[in-house]
Amino acid sequence: MSPQPQAAVGRPVSRVEGRLKVTGQAKYAADQTASGTAHAAVVDSSIARGRITGLDTAAAEACPGVLRVISHRNAPTLPYLPNRGSLNLPGERLHVFQDDRVLFHGQPVAVVVATTLEAAQHAASLVHVQYTAEPSATDLTSAPADEPTTYARGDAAAALASAAVRLDLTYRLSRMHHNPMEPHAIVTRWDGAELTVWDKTQWVQSTRDELAAVFGINPASVRVISPYVGGAFGNAARCWPHATIAALAAREAGRPVKLVLTRRQLYFGVGYRPAYEYRLSIGSDLQGRLTASVHDLRSETSRYETFAERGVLVPGRMLYTTPNVTQSHRTVPLDVNTPTPMRGPGYSTAAFPIESAVDELAHELGIDPIELRRRNEPENDQASGLPFSTRRLRECYTVGAREFGWNRRNPKPRTTRDGDWLIGMGVATAVYDTLRAPAQAHVRLDARGTAVVESATSDMGPGTYTSMSQVAADALGIDVPQVTFRLGDTTLPQAPVHGGSLTMASIGSTVQDGCDRVRQQAIALAVGDERSPLYGADPAAVVVYDGRLHVKGDPARGETYRQLLTRNDRTHLEATGSYTPAQSRASMHAYGAVFAEVAVDARLGMVRVRRMLGVYDAGRIISPKLADSQAIGGMVGGIGAALMEHTVTDHRDGRIVNANLAEYLVPVNADVPALKAIYLNGRDDQADPIGVKGLGEVVLVGVAPAVANAVFHATGRRVRHLPIAPEDLL
């Protein structure tokens, strides 16, 4: 078939649903009001480990408007059948209200259902719970660990022992919480045995399958609807215990129930990026060529599930030429709730130690940090032995250094001043896997030349509605406003989790496939129709744009979809597109080079980021305006990780002491300078049919070490933990 002109893809299209969002017409989960909806408020535990010995609900039950108070004392036994399809982890997910055990501070111990939110919250405050507390462990650094996941190539110990230069470094990364604007919210309604759910989720199928498994019902009896998501960053990919609570409450109360977690409850009701301790030894020769690296990691998990991020070990194996590598990653079970992926999961964690250490090595050897990275640029993936599909990291560095003015950097730390401020420039590499997953989409083109394209994916912020409309518009040869893209409903064609930067590749490819099929149907109809100007034309020579089919190079010979379908008494054409990732014969990753300039107050230790530039090799850019939105968001997240974000636990009782946005600091406008992203923008044809490598995750990776390296350059102080606080620099 003739390639379609790409008129919409690559154009800076604004979000097609933007107006609905800024005018309050987009209905998020908590905006749903099924008639007769009751409100739920969760009572959570005030100990980290132990048993519930007393639970007095009389005062709560006596409150006006209270319909039910549910706890392990009166909750029905729930089947909790196995469920492999919802990102559930090794171990066993938290069972709510099934026994008297407390496994972490903040665990749900009761729920109050009332006619108003105020009544539910007030009554919840009156539930009196007594506990027998047992000693708890919540500190990663002092608790025993599980058996490690390991990796080895060559003989790292011997290579380290004989290395010309050797660095042995320990890094600590704080726990972080996603903190999206929209809290987790769910509305559940039972109609007999049928369950309808409006959820905040990155994966409607996950909520459906998990609730079906928990309640022991057929997934076909559960419908999950989630058209809008107000940010998630990974914490809405799994279905969390509050969904079960809401569905249970609705069943017990006999009416729809709405449950919105409070901001405080978001710190233990859903997952988080786990804290890590990362010991790294690297050895090199005097030219800065790495000979060995040893990576020993510990990360926190819960006692009931094991969360071990695969991605945290990947950069250490494949980012730089290193003949000898050993790795071990141990999870440490603690009396905490289970962690979960957070933007750039694993990769952004690993990038901080690795990219800091490489910078440290460059400084020790007196080699420019970009030059040192160039000397270690591998020709293939040393972990898998596979060639890279595309890897343009050298170009990222060349373009970035030029655009950022890297040659103005005096290599000696603490030499550049602006009044009281010490100025520094730092750089770091970003990498993230190109993931893809099977997906389907349905396409229906009607006789007016407008199309509805549907897939059960999600849009947590990257702009799925818009980018998919762009892909569909070009494949059908119509304009973006003629396309309606629908998502976020389990009744739509199957889609994978909206995470891991796999949506554009997977859903984009299936949308293109479905639209190609519909366009081919229209072309076949036209060339076989004696009344069509296209009658008898070679189908492979027909292209479509502006809703009009014509012979390539002979625009006069053609007709519109409307003319063709109307004349043939066809109300519409439709097809289901599908995408199955090809077996990968290449190592596929998105890459980036992140440049940061900081100013550090020499007397106060305060760090201000002054400039930041990311240069990305993420394959083809479908939607440049949305890509910028992703890149800037990722950089802001990275500034938070570098300088602010830090979940603080009181290890005496496992309580998170800053479970709110006043004390869990995130960057605000005043913390964020001009941020710029550049995309090398070339297709990766091995990755997927539309040539993308994924962007949403890689843009967070590398930001924190770029800032940390800039802080070192400004001050001469090497900080090996995150976040970097003013007191670290005094």
Site residues (CB under 6 A) for ligand MOS? 202, 233-234, 237, 341-343, 345, 499-500
Which two tokens mark 362?
Answer: 């460059």
Spatial separation of the C-alpha atoms in residues 124 and 112, rounded to whole Å: 6
Q: Are 666 and 231 in contact (CB under 8 A)?
A: no
- Min separation Cβ 460 and ligand MOS, Å: 7
- Facing residues of 294 across strands? 281, 326
Spatial separation of the C-alpha atoms in residues 292 and 285, rounded to whole Å: 10
How do strand 257-260 and strand 165-173 relate by DSSP bridges? unpaired
**C-alpha radius of gyration, the chain, whole number:** 27
Of 230 and 345, which has the nearer Cβ to ligand MOS?
345
Nearest to 184 by CA among 138, 244, 127: 244
- Min separation Cβ 722 and ligand MOS, Å: 17
Continuous H helices in 156-269? 156-161, 204-215, 241-253
* DSSP-derived secondary structure for 143-162: S--PPPEEEEES-HHHHHHT
166 φ, ψ (degrees, to nearest 5):
-140, 135
Spatial separation of the C-alpha atoms in residues 695 and 431, rounded to whole Å: 10
Of 106 and 234, which has the nearer Cβ to ligand MOS?
234
How do strand 548-551 and strand 554-560 relate by DSSP bridges? antiparallel
Chain centroid to Cα 310, Å, comes to: 15
Q: Token match 């490690």: residue?
A: 148
Angle at 142 between CA 139 and CA 147, to 5 degrees: 100
Spatial separation of the C-alpha atoms in residues 678 and 392, rounded to whole Å: 13
- Min separation Cβ 7 and ligand MOS, Å: 30
* DSSP-derived secondary structure for 174-197: --B----SSPPEEEEEEETTEEEE
- Min separation Cβ 343 and ligand MOS, Å: 5
Spatial separation of the C-alpha atoms in residues 108 and 104, rounded to whole Å: 9
- Min separation Cβ 332 and ligand MOS, Å: 21
- Min separation Cβ 15 and ligand MOS, Å: 19
Of 696 and 723, which has the nearer Cβ to ligand MOS?
696
- Min separation Cβ 503 and ligand MOS, Å: 10
Of 106 and 500, which has the nearer Cβ to ligand MOS?
500
Which two tokens mark 715?
Answer: 């001050």
Spatial separation of the C-alpha atoms in residues 258 and 243, rounded to whole Å: 10
Instruction: Tell me if residue 697 is catalytic.
Output: yes
The catalytically annotated residue of 61, 92, 697, 727 is: 697
- Min separation Cβ 512 and ligand MOS, Å: 22
Q: Token match 């070009």: residue?
A: 474
Of 104 and 432, which has the nearer Cβ to ligand MOS?
432
What distance, in Å, lies between the first and last C-alpha atoms of the chain?
66
Q: How far is CA 636 from CA 346, 351, 495, 674, 675, in A?
A: 18, 16, 29, 11, 9
Spatial separation of the C-alpha atoms in residues 94 and 303, rounded to whole Å: 10
- Min separation Cβ 115 and ligand MOS, Å: 36
Of 44 and 459, which has the nearer Cβ to ligand MOS?
459
Of 362 and 504, which has the nearer Cβ to ligand MOS?
504
The amino acid that residue 530 corresponds to is E
Which two tokens mark 167?
Answer: 């660095």
Which two tokens mark 173?
Answer: 């990364």
- Min separation Cβ 637 and ligand MOS, Å: 11
Spatial separation of the C-alpha atoms in residues 24 and 26, rounded to whole Å: 6
Which two tokens mark 487?
Answer: 């998502």
Give me the active site residues, please: 697
